[in-house]
C-alpha cells in the first residue's frame, strides 16, 4: 500500500501543479484572488475544498497524535503548497508503518 500511496502523492503533486504552473507563468493573468472568486461556481468549489481541507487537517492531526506519527507537520505543508491531492495520500503513506507494523517489519 505504501507504494500506491507514494504514487498517488506524486500524481497528486504533478497534476495540480501542471495547471498552477501554467497560471503562474502566464504573463497576462488576473490576480490570483480574482481568479479564485471569478464566479459563484468557483466560490462554491473553493468553499467546498477549503472546508474539506480543514476537516482533513483536524482529523489527521488527532489521528497522528493517537498513532504517534511525528512527521504530521508535513501534511499541512503539503495542503498549503499543493493541496489535498498531495496531503491525503502523504498522510496515508506516513500512517502505513504505524497502522500495519507487521507489514512494515516484513519490508
* pLDDT tens by residue, 38-53: 889 989 999 999 999 9
For residue 100, pLDDT beyond 70: yes
What is the Cα Rg of the chain in Å?
16
* Grid coordinates belonging to 104: 512494515
* Grid coordinates belonging to 83: 493541496
pTM attached to this predicted model: 0.82
Angstrom distance (rounded) from CA 13 to CA 75:
13
**74 pLDDT band (50/70/90 cuts)?**
very high
**78 pLDDT band (50/70/90 cuts)?**
very high
Give ∠ CA 61-18-8 in degrees, rounded to 5.
Answer: 45
* Cα dihedral sign, 6-46-48-54: positive
Count other Cβ atoms within 10 Å, centred on residue 95: 19
pLDDT digit string (tens) for 4-57? Answer: 999 999 999 999 989 888 777 776 667 777 888 888 998 999 999 999 999 999
Amino acid at each position: 500500500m505504501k507504494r500506491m500511496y507514494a504514487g498517488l502523492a506524486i500524481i497528486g503533486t504533478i497534476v495540480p501543479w501542471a495547471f498552477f504552473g501554467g497560471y503562474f507563468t502566464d504573463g497576462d493573468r488576473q490576480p490570483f484572488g480574482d481568479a479564485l472568486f471569478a464566479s459563484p461556481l468557483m466560490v462554491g468549489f473553493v468553499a467546498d475544498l477549503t472546508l474539506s481541507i480543514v476537516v482533513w487537517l483536524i482529523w489527521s492531526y488527532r489521528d497522528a497524535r493517537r498513532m504517534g506519527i511525528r512527521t504530521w507537520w508535513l501534511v499541512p505543508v503539503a495542503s498549503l503548497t499543493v493541496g489535498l491531492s498531495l496531503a491525503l495520500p502523504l498522510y496515508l503513506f506516513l500512517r502505513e508503518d504505524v497502522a500495519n507494523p507487521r507489514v512494515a517489519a516484513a519490508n
